[in-house]
Amino acid sequence: MSSLSEDHEQGAELESLRDVYEMLDIEQIRSILPHRYPFLLVDRILDMEPGVRARGLKNVTINEEFFQGHFPGHAIMPGVLIIEAMAQVGAVLLLATPERRGKLAYFAAIDDVKFKKPVLPGDSLIIEVQVDWARGKVGRVSAIAYVDGNIVAEGKLSFAVRDRDEPARPEAQHLIGVGK
């Protein structure tokens, strides 16, 4: 039989686990990701288990700058930006873990990407990401993007995690004065 203090501790543990699954709004996402308009491509995290899985939302509107040129009279969200949206949901998932908080996630590889259907203005892009593996500063996620329950894109995204003040290319550190 457990003691009252053990029951209280277990209750607090369950409460913190419940917090893990709550939605993240745009300001919480902005506190995790360095991206800003017009390159922030996730509006909300619908639910998440940090380091395991996440579901995000990107509301696609005709006001997006890329629709001015892709394609006039036939607006379609560029595939590379769908991949970037998937990567940003993956980055939130990975950077929400205690050991990676405050860091950056860079692309290391993009594999097995398939585009199934176009994403159009007015669509709500739902992105599901699951960690395949993560060891140290590298790992891989599987991502699937949906519109109206139909798969529009899927693929494997590999990442490398770095400190925010660590230059992207250490040999260029002296050129830009980062990390001094």
CATH assignment at residue 77: 3.10.129.10
Question: How many other CB atoms are there within 10 angstroms of residue 136's CB atom?
Answer: 8
Residue 7 or 137, more confident? 137
What is residue 169's predicted lDDT score, i.e. its pLDDT?
A: 73
Q: Calculate the alpha carbon distances from 153 to 81, 104, 146 in Å.
A: 11, 24, 7
Fill in the DSSP letter of residue 24. Answer: B
What is residue 11's predicted lDDT score, i.e. its pLDDT?
A: 42
53-68 average pLDDT score? 96
Whole-number average pLDDT of the chain: 86
128-132 average pLDDT score? 98
Question: What's the rounded Cα separation, in Å, for the pair 14 and 72?
Answer: 51
Phi-psi region of 169 (alpha: psi -120 to 50; beta: other; left: phi over 0): beta
Is residue 170 very low, low, confident or very high in pLDDT (cuts 50, 70, 90)? low
Is residue 17 very low, low, confident or very high in pLDDT (cuts 50, 70, 90)? very low
Residue 92 or 166, more confident? 92
What is residue 67's predicted lDDT score, i.e. its pLDDT?
A: 93
pTM higher than 0.85: no
Q: Which of 8, 35, 70, 174 is catalytic?
A: 70
Question: How many other CB atoms are there within 10 angstroms of residue 124's CB atom?
Answer: 13
**Residues constituting the chain:** 180
pLDDT at 35 > cutoff 70 = yes
pLDDT at 18 > cutoff 90 = no
37-58 average pLDDT score? 96
Give the total number of structural domains in the chain: 1
Q: What is the pLDDT of residues 106-118, one digit of tens each?
A: 999 999 999 999 9
80-94 average pLDDT score? 97
Q: Calculate the alpha carbon distances from 11 to 14, 17, 29, 98 in Å.
A: 5, 10, 27, 21
* Domain carrying residue 111: 4-176
70 among known catalytic residues? yes
143-152 average pLDDT score? 98
Give the sign of the dihedral formed by CA 142, CA 118, CA 104, CA 171: positive
Question: What's the rounded Cα separation, in Å, for the pair 12 and 14?
Answer: 5
Q: Calculate the alpha carbon distances from 167 to 12, 101, 127, 163, 174 in Å.
A: 39, 17, 29, 8, 10
Question: What's the rounded Cα separation, in Å, for the pair 82 and 74?
Answer: 17
Question: What's the rounded Cα separation, in Å, for the pair 9 and 31?
Answer: 29
56-75 average pLDDT score? 94
